[in-house]
Amino acid sequence: MHRATLRELSAKLASREVSSVEMTRHFLDRIAGEGAALNAFITIDEAKSLAQAKAADARIARGQAGPLTGIPVAHKDLFCAKDWLTTAGSKILGNFVSPYDSHVIAQFDRAGAVLLGKANMDEFAMGSSNENSHFGPVKNPWDLAAVPGGSSGGSAAAVAARLAPAATGTDTGGSIRQPASFTGVCGLRPTYGRVSRHGIVAFASSLDQAGALGKTAEDLAILLGTMAGYDERDSTCIDRPVDDYAAMLSGGVKGLRVGVPREYFTKDLAQDVAAPIRAAIDELAKLGAKVVEVSLPNQHLSVAAYYVIAPAEASSNLSRYDGVRYGYRAPEYADLNDMYRKTRAQGFGPEVKRRVLIGTYVLSHGYYDAYYVQAQKIRRLIANDFIAAFRDCDLIVGPAAPSVAFDLGSKATDPVQMYLDDLYTIPINLAGLPGLSIPCGFGNKGRPVGLQVVGNYFDEARMLRAAHAFQQATDWHTRVPKGFE
Amino acid sequence: MLSLEQIARIADLARLEVTPREAAALQQQLNGILAIVDQMGSVDTSGVEPMSHPQQAMQRMRDDRVTEADERDSFQSIAPAVEDGLYLVPKVIE
């Protein structure tokens, strides 16, 4: 059952082959059993999940089921869920029981999905390895010595190990696509503004976007259809009709112009990743796509611009953690200012502190123009590169990450090296474009490789159609790590 | 390059207590990050309009009326210290 796609699970529920309570029980048992070594979850609440499953079974019995009714879904612990602990992977929110639902959680509730648990993540979504969680690192199910990627590392590991049929994530600089690539699952970051950010613990507001991780492009289509749509509580959410993504999957890639940026295959890309990516592009060509060369000449500046803009917005967003209204407060302090300083020093981990300090610096008097305004101008150049490229192609394809998953601890002491690894994902966030990663092979040590597919604004349906066509012709997405079959 | 004095000032602005030992490690790490960021300095961006946001949409206005329910009790139930509906902090004015 745990290897079934969302559509197959829905069919099992509809035919009464299995109840939602039984299905939820099955995944909870996997989380506590073979999944325990992965540390993929921060909070599990069996009673709450099973109560939701029972309600879903009643809804199915009434004949009012939708495609996700009764199906358990894991949520990154960045999504506020009413009466659930919502920690953002941080000690400072370690006791925060959310008094309200995020828009995304409410959408899954309306669909009748079951909240399976809150997935582990890098603290405040800052990280690319899931080693920055206050609740300990997540292990990669393909190799317990490897990181699962981050920051949505718990979500990715849970789907890869078939501990959850699907999961939500957020992607500010690659936090859905890179862990999807590292764990051999499918992950979609939609266009900025497609999904409401209401109730998602904020990191960098002009870059954050919620998305989904699943086993197939079809799963992603079903999940996005549930999550997307207008919500007036997010002032950046776009009021625009939502495509019927699941109904638009067929049609193939014949005649589709697939752009390959000439800047992608450089010395920065590991050979064991380059080979499966080239093979995947050849496969798309074999299926009828027209492969064209495009150029993104300013892409090499994206990491620099990102590490000004993201920390600047983070330092502003995280100023709310002051020990006054919710979350952790230091036990001892001399006065109000000392309470703030000690609460934040004790509540934030090292990576969050680094980013808060960099952000404070680049926004401070005398440095704002040289850093923040210059980064915003470079952001424009990077976005303009994509706009120009999309005149010559319909989709852009390439790697999601420059290497396969690295070993736990191997980059933890050098934050800069880890930042540079996000070179293929960050430009998409700066431009506000949608991107997805699908498994397309294996590299060194049998670790997965993901193909990134980038679309034009609000062109998720076309991206999913191409990914679906690839998956109809290949079977990389069906591979399951040993020990989790 | 950030000096230790600058780090202390930034930490003060960020309301973050930093011990002298942490400051030395942070100096190296933050300067490593700024070394990447400094690549931007050589790029000619004259005439480029800064992009603050991916969509060009204007901020929406809404009617000036109360739309939120009163959830004070629920919100204060998770606060570190409250009394009579007020959040408690250390004494600010003697």
Examine the pLDDT at A392 and tell me if it is beyond 70. Answer: yes
Contact B80 A329 (CB under 8 A): yes
* Residue B33: closest C-alpha in chain A: A416
Residue B56 distance to chain A (closest CA, Å): 10
Of the candidates B71, B78, B92, the beta carbon closest to that of A326 is on B78
User: Would residue A295 show up in a list of annotated catalytic residues for this protein?
Assistant: no
Angle at the Cα of A441 (from A436 to A442), degrees rounded to 5?
A: 115
The H or E element containing residue A451 is: strand A448-455
Contact B16 A341 (CB under 8 A): yes
Q: What pLDDT is attached to residue B57?
A: 63
- Select the residue from B22, B49, B51 to test the A interface by mutation, using most A Cβ atoms within 10 A: B51
Q: Which residues contact A364 (CB under 8 A, 6 or more apart)?
A: B10, B13
Please state, in angstroms and as integers, the Cα–Cα distance from residue A451 to each residue in A175, A384, A477, following that order. Answer: 15, 23, 11
Q: What percent of chain B has pLDDT over 70?
A: 96
Q: What is the DSSP string of A161-215?
A: TTSSS-EEEE-SSSTTHHHHHHHT-EEEEPPTTSS--TTBPPS-TTT--EEEEES
Of the candidates B48, B53, B79, the beta carbon closest to that of A206 is on B53
In DSSP terms, which residues pair with A453 in a beta bridge? Answer: A397, A436
Please state, in angstroms and as integers, the Cα–Cα distance from residue A89 to each residue in A117, A319, A353, following that order. Answer: 14, 17, 14
d(CA A185, CA A168): 13
Stretch A182-196: mean pLDDT:
98
Examine the pLDDT at A368 and tell me if it is beyond 80. Answer: yes
Contact B2 A95 (CB under 8 A): no
Per residue in A218-251, pLDDT (tens digit) is 999 999 999 999 999 998 999 999 999 999 999 9
Tell me which residue of A85, A87, A309, A330 sits closest to A204, measured CA to CA.
Answer: A309
pTM for the model stands at 0.97
Residue A284: phi and psi, rounded to 5, are -60, -40
Q: Which residue has the higher pLDDT, B56 or A467?
A: A467
Q: Peptide bond preceding A151: is omega within 30 degrees of 0, i.e. cis?
A: yes
Contact A342 B78 (CB under 8 A): no
Contact B40 A97 (CB under 8 A): no
Q: Distance of alpha carbon A86 from its chain centroid, rounded?
A: 17
d(CA A339, CA A343): 6
Residue B77 distance to chain A (closest CA, Å): 9
- Mean of pLDDT over chain B: 92
Place of tokens 């959040």: B87
d(CA A444, CA A241): 43
Stretch A286-293: mean pLDDT:
98
Per residue in A24-52, pLDDT (tens digit) is 999 999 999 999 999 999 999 999 999 99
- Select the residue from B13, B16, B19, B86 to test the A interface by mutation, using most A Cβ atoms within 10 A: B16
User: Would residue A90 show up in a list of annotated catalytic residues for this protein?
Assistant: no
Examine the pLDDT at B94 and tell me if it is beyond 80. Answer: no
Contact B60 A232 (CB under 8 A): yes
Taking contacts as CB-CB distances below 8 angstroms, the residues of chain A near B57 are: 193, 236, 238
Taking contacts as CB-CB distances below 8 angstroms, the residues of chain B near A337 are: 15
Q: What pLDDT is attached to residue B62?
A: 82
Contact A342 B35 (CB under 8 A): no
- Mean of pLDDT over chain A: 97
Q: What pLDDT is attached to residue A412?
A: 79
Stretch A87-103: mean pLDDT:
98
Residue A178: phi and psi, rounded to 5, are -70, -45
User: Would residue A205 show up in a list of annotated catalytic residues for this protein?
Assistant: no
The H or E element containing residue A437 is: strand A435-442
Per residue in B43-81, pLDDT (tens digit) is 999 999 999 888 766 677 888 999 888 999 999 999 999
Q: What pLDDT is attached to residue A181?
A: 98
Of the candidates B43, B87, B91, the beta carbon closest to that of A324 is on B87
Q: What pLDDT is attached to residue B58?
A: 66
Q: What pLDDT is attached to residue B53?
A: 83
Residue B9 distance to chain A (closest CA, Å): 9
Burial of residue B60, with CB atoms counted within 10 A of its CB: 0-12 exposed, 13-18 middle, 19 or more buried: exposed
Per residue in A298-357, pLDDT (tens digit) is 999 999 999 999 999 999 999 999 999 999 999 999 999 999 999 999 999 999 999 999
Contact A236 B55 (CB under 8 A): yes
Taking contacts as CB-CB distances below 8 angstroms, the residues of chain A near B40 are: 301, 304-305, 308, 371, 374-375, 378
Q: What percent of chain A has pLDDT over 70?
A: 100
Contact B51 A361 (CB under 8 A): no
* Residue A95: closest C-alpha in chain B: B78
Examine the pLDDT at A441 and tell me if it is beyond 80. Answer: yes
Band (pLDDT 50/70/90 cuts) for residue B93 is confident
Which tokens go with B60?
A: 């929406």
Burial of residue A51, with CB atoms counted within 10 A of its CB: 0-12 exposed, 13-18 middle, 19 or more buried: middle
Please identify which of the residues A175, A181, A315, A437 carries the catalytic annotation.
A175
